[in-house]
Amino acid sequence: MKDTIYIRDLRVETIIGIFGWEREVRQQISMDLDFEFDVSVPGKSDSIDDTLDYKKITKSLIAFIESSDYKLIEALGEGIVDHLKSKFGIKKVKLRLSKPGALRFSKDVGIMIER
């Protein structure tokens, strides 16, 4: 059985980009996260201690991203995945990370990572 806990369209402002103006202005990024996690134990216990606390994860991610200053979205994505794995012991994560409005005529541009 493969269960998933997910977070959709988490938006955070950070320094991201290679151009001079991007190093001075905070831009919004958006992400979707999927965590493979067996929900049967917390499903039976009804205890936050038995599950991934997505509020703690979200607060930690926001702090991490807001304090970052990556140039490439690829590097930010790897940083996010490393942060999740080291801080929360998450073994499998899927991340969709995008910069809305980064390309003219496009809603957004980004990456998808599965680790």
pLDDT value of residue 16: 96
Q: For position 24, what pLDDT does the model report?
A: 95
Digit-coded pLDDT (tens) for 14-57: 999 999 999 999 999 999 999 999 999 999 999 999 999 999 99
Of the pLDDT bands very low, low, confident and very high (cuts 50, 70, 90), residue 101 is confident
| CATH (domain of 21) | 3.30.1130.10
Residues 110, 97 contacting (CB under 8 angstroms):
yes
Count of domains forming the chain = 1
pLDDT beyond 70 at 1 = no
What angle is formed at CA 21 by the lines to CA 102 and CA 15, rounded to 5 degrees? 70
> What is the extent of the structural domain holding 72?
4-114
